[in-house]
Amino acid sequence: METLKKHYGKILCMILLYYTIYAGFEGKVPRQPILNETVRNLYFHVTMWFSMIFLLGTSVYHSIKYLRSGDVQADLKSYAYVETGLVFAIMGLVTGSFWAKFTWGDWWTNDPKLNSVAVGLLIYLAYLLVRSSLPEEQQKARISSVYNIFAFVVFMVLIWILPRMTDSLHPGNGGNPGFNSMDLDNRMRMVFYPAIIGWTLLGFWIAGLRIRIKQLDQQIEENN
């Protein structure tokens, strides 16, 4: 029973993802012009972006915690959450590119939303470069924490605010409506919301594994 409680989140994650994948491909979806069957990508592309935001937001929490307390473990966790968040960002970008190909006719368009996402990812990739370029651990942790907070704020502006200020092909931006009550019917909601939870749990599961690996590496270095 104790083992079951310990792995409850992982079991729930696997159940929700199995349900998401099965219902995502086999469940009924509304027939929308242009989108047609590609609307199923909503369960993967959009939900992965939600997971990414939760992961990056958690990394900012740990960055702030490090700056306030100097706890090395907080910096380590912040780093792991950024790494995992970037994995989900790339998966979201890839699934979005496939969606664009079949709905807009091209893998990548010169769209404000897509370009903003690309700039945001470059900012986060620069975060990884900053960490790898600083040899002194305290300096690395301090500068990385400040940079991470800055990167998250800028990234949110790039993907949520700027695209809404101009014309955009992407749903929910520039006067182009996102999925509303007519598009996202109750059948899709029954898959969409569990999918967000499932992918988010997977992200935190992966981040937890990354944290454990980093902690072991830290212990090995200290022992040597």
Assign residue 157 the CATH number of its domain. Answer: 1.20.120
Q: Looking only at Cα atoms, what is the longest distance across the chain?
A: 63
Of 131, 97, 103, 99, give the one whose Cα is nearest residue 117: 97
25-57 pLDDT, tens digit per residue, is 888 877 776 667 778 888 999 999 999 999 999
* 197: pLDDT strictly greater than 90: yes
pLDDT at 169 (0 to 100): 66
Q: Which residue has the higher pLDDT, 105 or 183?
A: 105
Q: At what angle do helices 72-103 and 45-69 cross, to 10 degrees?
A: 160
pLDDT band at residue 3 using 50, 70 and 90 as cut-offs: low
Written as one letter, the residue type at 77 is: K
* 111: pLDDT strictly greater than 60: yes
pLDDT band at residue 108 using 50, 70 and 90 as cut-offs: confident
Cα–Cα distance, 116 to 57 (Å, whole number): 18
pLDDT band at residue 91 using 50, 70 and 90 as cut-offs: very high
Q: How many domains does the chain have?
A: 1
Q: Which residue has the higher pLDDT, 202 or 25?
A: 202
Kind plus residue range of the DSSP H or E element containing 161: none
Print the domain residue range for 48. 2-223
* 1: pLDDT strictly greater than 60: no
pLDDT band at residue 172 using 50, 70 and 90 as cut-offs: low
* 218: pLDDT strictly greater than 90: no
Q: What is the DSSP string of 100-126?
A: HHHHTSSSS---HHHHHHHHHHHHHHH
pTM over 0.75: yes
* The residue to which tokens 């945001």 are assigned: 120
